[in-house]
Amino acid sequence: MEFRILGPLEVLDGEQSVPLKGAKPRALLGVLLLHANEVVSNARLVDELWGERPPATAENLVQGYVHALRKQLGSDTLLTQAPGYRLRVLPEALDLLEFQRLVAVARTAELEEAAALRRRALALWHGPPLADLSFEGPARHESGRLSELRLETQIERIEAELELGRHAALIGELESLVGAHTYQERLHAQLILALYRSGRQAEALQAYQSVRRVLSDELGLQPGQALRDLEAAILRQDEALVLDGRTMPTPSLPAETPEPAPAEDELRPVTVLFADIVGSTALGERLAPDDVKALVGECVTQMSQAVEEYGGIVQAYAGDGICAYFGVPHTREDDPERAARTGLRIQEVAGKYARDVTEAWSIPDFAVRVGINTGRAGVGVVGAGSPQTVALGDATNVAARIQSAAAPGTIAVGAETARRLEHRFFFEPLGEIPVKGRTGHVSVSRLVGPRSRGRSVALRPLVGREQEVAKLRRLVSELEAGRGQALLLVGEPGIGKTRLLAELRSLLPDETTWLEGHCLSYGGLPSWPFIEVLQRWLDVEIGDAEVVVRTRVRARLGPLFGGDPSRVPPGLGRLLRVELGTDAATAPEEIRRGYVAWVEALTEQRPVVLAIDDLHWAHESSRELAEDLLVLTERAPLLLVATLRRDPASEGWRFRTRVLTEFSHRAAELALEPLTHTEAAELLGKLLPGAFDDETREEIVARAEGNPLYLEELLRALVEGGGLEQRHRTWTTALKPSLILPPALENLLVARIDRLPAGPRRLAQLAAAIGREFPVAVIERVAGESSRDDLAVLLRAEIVREVRRYPELRCAFRHGLLQDAALTTLTPSSRRELYARVAAAFEELYAGSLDDHLERLAH
């Protein structure tokens, strides 16, 4: 079934138009369509159909109309849902929703595409909206509102076309629009500009005079500032009014900005999650409306809690489902993982709920469908009264579509999300689905569950790191000799910290105990990495039945404590969420003491290595426990290892400070530097056996700048993008590796920029528009003196570094990929604007020696 309301109301069943009889039933359908997928209450319907004087039988009449409509539309389209009715429509089956979608996508698209999208959106109209319906309630105003929306879109489309240099072709259309909307100053301004750009200056000035007269005669008003500025600019033949192919000026139309536009429009990767309850229809048939509402409401609440637990935000509640964003307002490196874990949690919660529902009412088909998709979206703030952060773009629409393709009780995931999560989760391909408004299909997978972090993946051979490995060997032999120590492996993401940890493990003799835990980027339980260590040692998992855990604890921990299970510290039970003793000690110090006692007992048997990966994500509770274990290295053969990034604000860094100040006599730190050029080339050869042609190899190696993860992901992006082909056993590429930002790294890189406060973030964007390396003078010329402070933040955050002070201060992005990531967060129009301002600053600063700097301008 397809519905059209951008014109007279129409319902289509395939090609066939469905005849709808009666003004009231048609109006009723109109109201439901204006609120598609929302519940519209009985009272509201009565109000819309009859206004202030409804007949006594109004409610019954509404029921009758619904009954008749349902016969034509089908019962799963028109649902009864307290306190009224809900019309279920796919976004692509209602022209209004499709219109809104296209307009939203256009906001973040390139000029040419934006104009095309808006044209497509406008083509959906076939007359005045809801023209043939009469309403008595608030819906009366909807028709006017929709018409305004249409005009707004028309103006935006014309704006884009003007910028594309199509002024001559627009004049006719603008003249008739101006005739129909006499007081729309923006349209007048567009006409005047189009005339001027077509070399018709006198007519442009006449057009200005005629609108001035109309406004003053009919409304007693002066033209607005924008129009007056435009006239002045025409009179002085301002160059900014003319488009010349080379330097695209910033939008030269001095019109007011369109009001609902996001305040600070930026692009960033966003992961969108839709979750929807299926089977609520069956509930509606079996239960009283109030009960259904309460039941569905509770389930939706629990789904929202899952979203919040993993740091997402619920953007909308749509009937019996939610739409949530991860990465709004700020991108995090693990947004896709957070969304995936939320999906799993939602299914867990919904599964329990479904069992209860089945038990209580014998309703078997209560379930939730989840759809997840990642993509770049325009993120901004809309609305003046109660501003809301929203993500606009295709990603949301595709996520909704993916959700509708998921089987009840499952999670379906788009290709972009799956690609970022392959290492951590299992997926099953579901094939491809079409998405309306997109050419090409979207491939979808089912998210099955997380991979365990076992040792299952065979390690690829280590490249380079000879000195580090030599140091590890020394530490191992000292441990064998009974000496306790602490080891810190420090370095940027992807540099090889975890890999080196694995190397350490492989160097250990058999008679050593290896304990390992990981801090989670999304938080998790307090002391989590240490809980994980204990669970792995006991061979239990979260979700195991309490009796299993308790039995293991007694069987494995008992012997460590003199064969007496009652002497197992109750704090350990607390960490495992099981009751051990009679009165469980719960104070945090008690728990830590119990933990240290356990590790100490292990060291009495044989030397122990306890490794915590990613300590930069640690909670305070984990840091405290790590510090207590540090003390243990004084008296026991314990090698305490932590990997961490350089993040001075983190708990992990506090731990490092403690280690280096108070335990320096027992501490070793390995700071991992980028691989050398030769090592990186060697790694490339190992990742993809076979020779590379020189140019390709050099480009990939240069782009990765010694970071093994970047190298791997660049290669993967090339392979998956079909960019590599083998000729005579030599790999070669038609793509430019130097232009690729691997999708799997996008979140990681953008998150580093996005974490910054607004000032430094904007500065990073500006610097990125200048180049990998940039003179600070240009920054100051564009952004003002105060930008020095913001630059200091970028230096401290290790986003940029100082290159030289003389003859002028120059800084550079620490990594080329970081610069590119900063650029990707700019919308095309703000990027153009920045380029223009940068070019102007160069001209002013280096007017005499411009040639030297021309290279920089060649963007």
Ligand X SMILES: Nc1ncnc2c1ncn2[C@@H]1O[C@H](COP(=O)(O)OP(=O)(O)O)[C@@H](O)[C@H]1O
Residues of this chain that bind ligand X (CB under 6 A): 460, 462-465, 491, 493-499, 683, 708-709, 712
Of residues 708 and 775, the one with the C-beta less far from Mg ion: 708
Residue 794: CB minimum distance to ligand X, A: 22
Of residues 2 and 679, the one with the C-beta less far from ligand X: 679
Contact flag: residue 77 with Mg ion (CB under 5 A) = no
**Stretch of 4-12, 456-464, 473-481, 490-498 contacting Mg ion, by CB under 5 A:** 490-498
Strand segments (E) across 743-813:
773-775, 800-804, 810-813
Q: How far apart are alpha carbons 56 and 611 in whole angstroms?
A: 75
Q: Which two tokens stand for residue 39?
A: 């519940």
Are the CB atoms for 639 and 487 separated by under 8 Å? yes
- By CB atoms closer than 10 A (0-12, 13-18, 19+), residue 774 is buried
Q: How far apart are alpha carbons 596 and 604 in whole angstroms?
A: 12
**Which of ligand X, Mg ion, none interacts with 818 (beta carbon under 5 to 8 A by kind)?**
none
Residue 413: CB minimum distance to ligand X, A: 22
> Across the strands, what pairs with 272?
325, 373
**Which of Mg ion, ligand X, none interacts with 462 (beta carbon under 5 to 8 A by kind)?**
ligand X
Q: How far apart are alpha carbons 68 and 74 in whole angstroms?
A: 10
**Helix ranges restricted to H, 362-496:** 394-405, 415-421, 466-480
Contact flag: residue 80 with Mg ion (CB under 5 A) = no
Strand segments (E) across 7-138:
10-13, 16-17, 39-41, 78-81, 84-87
Residue 344: CB minimum distance to Mg ion, A: 22
Are the CB atoms for 686 and 513 separated by under 8 Å? no
**Which of ligand X, Mg ion, none interacts with 709 (beta carbon under 5 to 8 A by kind)?**
ligand X
Q: How far from 101 is each of 1, 96, 104, 558, CA to CA, in Å?
A: 19, 9, 5, 62
Residue 457: CB minimum distance to ligand X, A: 9
Are the CB atoms for 798 and 671 separated by under 8 Å? no
Q: Which two tokens stand for residue 796?
A: 């401290």
Of residues 465 and 752, the one with the C-beta less far from ligand X: 465
Of residues 538 and 709, the one with the C-beta less far from ligand X: 709
301: CB partners within 8 A, 6+ apart: none
**Which of Mg ion, ligand X, none interacts with 783 (beta carbon under 5 to 8 A by kind)?**
none
Of residues 367 and 489, the one with the C-beta less far from ligand X: 489
**Which of ligand X, Mg ion, none interacts with 465 (beta carbon under 5 to 8 A by kind)?**
ligand X
Of residues 236 and 423, the one with the C-beta less far from Mg ion: 423
Residue 382: CB minimum distance to Mg ion, A: 38
Cβ neighbours around 725 below 10 Å, total: 10
- By CB atoms closer than 10 A (0-12, 13-18, 19+), residue 159 is buried
Of residues 378 and 491, the one with the C-beta less far from ligand X: 491
Contact flag: residue 498 with Mg ion (CB under 5 A) = yes
Residue 621: CB minimum distance to ligand X, A: 23
Residue 518: CB minimum distance to Mg ion, A: 8
**Which of Mg ion, ligand X, none interacts with 683 (beta carbon under 5 to 8 A by kind)?**
ligand X
Of residues 369 and 419, the one with the C-beta less far from ligand X: 419
Of residues 495 and 568, the one with the C-beta less far from ligand X: 495
Q: Which two tokens stand for residue 289?
A: 């409306």
Of residues 343 and 491, the one with the C-beta less far from Mg ion: 491
Eight-state DSSP code of residue 846: S
3 state DSSP class of 585: coil
Q: How far apart are alpha carbons 510 and 445 in whole angstroms?
A: 41
Residue 711: CB minimum distance to ligand X, A: 7
Of residues 460 and 796, the one with the C-beta less far from ligand X: 460
Residue 675: CB minimum distance to ligand X, A: 6
Of residues 616 and 856, the one with the C-beta less far from ligand X: 616
**Which of Mg ion, ligand X, none interacts with 336 (beta carbon under 5 to 8 A by kind)?**
none
Are the CB atoms for 525 and 573 separated by under 8 Å? no
CA angle at 127 for the pair 124 and 129, rounded to the nearest 5°: 85
Eight-state DSSP code of residue 424: T
Residue 613: CB minimum distance to Mg ion, A: 6
- The residue of the chain with the least Cβ separation from Mg ion equals 498
Q: How far apart are alpha carbons 607 and 599 in whole angstroms?
A: 10
Residue 641: CB minimum distance to Mg ion, A: 13
Residue 474: CB minimum distance to ligand X, A: 19
**Which of ligand X, Mg ion, none interacts with 495 (beta carbon under 5 to 8 A by kind)?**
ligand X
- The residue of the chain with the least Cβ separation from ligand X equals 496
Residue 459: CB minimum distance to ligand X, A: 7
**Which of ligand X, Mg ion, none interacts with 460 (beta carbon under 5 to 8 A by kind)?**
ligand X
**Stretch of 140-148, 495-503, 702-710, 805-813 contacting Mg ion, by CB under 5 A:** 495-503
Q: Angle, nearest 10°, between helix axes 142-163 and 185-197?
A: 20
* CB-facing half-sphere around the CA of 608: CA atoms within 13 A: 23
- CA nearest to 465, candidates 300, 680, 229: 680
Report CA 268 to chain centroid distance, whole Å. Answer: 7
**Stretch of 42-50, 198-206, 364-372, 491-499 contacting Mg ion, by CB under 5 A:** 491-499
Of residues 84 and 496, the one with the C-beta less far from ligand X: 496
Cβ neighbours around 108 below 10 Å, total: 24
**Which of Mg ion, ligand X, none interacts with 494 (beta carbon under 5 to 8 A by kind)?**
ligand X
Omega before residue 329 within 30° of 0, cis:
yes
Of residues 498 and 513, the one with the C-beta less far from Mg ion: 498
Q: How far apart are alpha carbons 778 and 770 in whole angstroms?
A: 9
Question: Looking up tokens 């390992």, which residue turns up?
Answer: 516
Rg (CA), the chain: 32
**Which of Mg ion, ligand X, none interacts with 371 (beta carbon under 5 to 8 A by kind)?**
none
**Stretch of 208-216, 414-422, 496-504, 656-664 contacting Mg ion, by CB under 5 A:** 496-504
Pairing of strands 730-733, 691-692: parallel
Residue 708: CB minimum distance to ligand X, A: 3
**Stretch of 223-231, 478-486, 492-500, 726-734 contacting Mg ion, by CB under 5 A:** 492-500
**Stretch of 91-99, 456-464, 497-505, 562-570 contacting Mg ion, by CB under 5 A:** 497-505
Are the CB atoms for 241 and 354 separated by under 8 Å? no
**Which of ligand X, Mg ion, none interacts with 499 (beta carbon under 5 to 8 A by kind)?**
ligand X
Of residues 77 and 498, the one with the C-beta less far from Mg ion: 498
Question: Looking up tokens 């627009």, which residue turns up?
Answer: 170
Residue 497: CB minimum distance to Mg ion, A: 5
Sites of contact with Mg ion (CB under 5 A): 498
